[in-house]
Amino acid sequence: MILYCVLIAVVALFSRVFALLIAVPFVTKLIFATDEQEVQSKSESPALLQYLGIFTAICALLVIVKLLPLLQALEIWISVGACPVVFAFALQRYRKYETAFLTALVPGLLFIGLKNLFFFPYIKSLAEESNQLFMSSIENVFSPEMMESMYPTLETVKNIMIYGNASLWMVGIVIGIFVGAFIFSKRSSLKWHFNKIKFHYYVQLGVALGLILFIIKFRVISYNVLFIVGLLYLIQGYSVLYCYVESMMKRSKFLGIVMLIIPIFSYILLLVITIVGLLDNWLPLRKFAHNKGDKE
């Protein structure tokens, strides 16, 4: 386990997403039987604490030897240490991937809330410094006229980095845990079928919260809340889309994959898919796809 923890920590230094692709299946498998048909006895569950303890020691050592600043070490510990443990524990207890996935996001959400509450000036200064370095580097490449035309776009990107840092940070966590859960599912008897993903109705409370915060002028918080919740419904919307593309993929897998990839290049299509995911909780959007599959 120590070697795996070291590997995950090293990968996390470069990419938390790829580290989660290793950590989520590995940690989840710790509390499942070798044949992956029965959950191990409760005496085996301390394996999660063992993983978390070793990973905590590695992060602490990196801080002590000054290879990582404390805030970055906390980010890695929360995202790659705590989140996979919470996912594995929730999957063991509830036996439902959607519930385990949403539960695993809680440590990250709590962390970004506290981080912005106590360290926002530090986050803002870092983003501004990065922006200044980037501006000085491209000033030697582009003409003054080109720089002037690019300035509004660059200013928008800087503001997104500052005020949208919470949602941007959560993107990697959501993707890493989601894909990591699917990797585990492929090797487990407890399957997670992409065409059946549907999050619980209570996720819509996040949409309501975001809209309320927007109305009462807490715009920065509302944008982050709506983006994170929207990302979840984008996943659910893609699940609905996959229901319709699934039959097409039986005839031409290439065409089906193209149909799934095309929306990625259009934010309007991504927004439509997100709305479809939201409506999926209220309307029988998958019914036609399933009936069509039955007729075929």
pLDDT digits (tens, 9 = 90+) for 120-144: 888 888 777 877 787 777 777 777 7
Supply angle C-alpha 51, 55, 57, rounded to 5. Answer: 120
Higher-confidence residue of 127 and 185: namely 185
Q: Which of 87-101, 196-210, 240-254 has the lowest mean pLDDT?
A: 240-254
For residue 158, give the nearest of 194, 182, 123 by alpha carbon.
123
Q: How far is CA 183 from CA 24, 25, 268, in A?
A: 9, 6, 30
Q: Which residue has the tokens 């593309």?
A: 245
Query: What are the residue boundaries of the structural domains of the chain, listed by start?
Result: 1-192, 194-296
For residue 48, give the nearest of 36, 30, 34 by alpha carbon.
30
Provide the pLDDT for residue 36. 45
* CB contact at 8 A, 76 and 23: no
Average pLDDT, the chain: 85
* CB contact at 8 A, 237 and 274: yes
Provide the pLDDT for residue 42. 45
* The two three-digit tokens of residue 186, written as one number: 């492929």
The set of residues, in sequence order, having a beta carbon less than 8 Å from that of 77 and lying 6+ positions away, is: 55, 56, 59
Q: How far is CA 17 from CA 5, 201, 209, 235, in A?
A: 15, 27, 27, 16
Spatial separation of the C-alpha atoms in residues 288 and 179, rounded to whole Å: 27
**Range 194-199 average pLDDT:** 90
Tens-place pLDDT, residues 244-296: 888 777 777 777 788 888 888 888 999 999 999 999 988 888 887 766 544 44
Q: Rounded to two decimals, what is the model's pTM?
A: 0.86
**Range 156-178 average pLDDT:** 87
User: Is residue 32 pLDDT above 80, yes or no?
Assistant: no
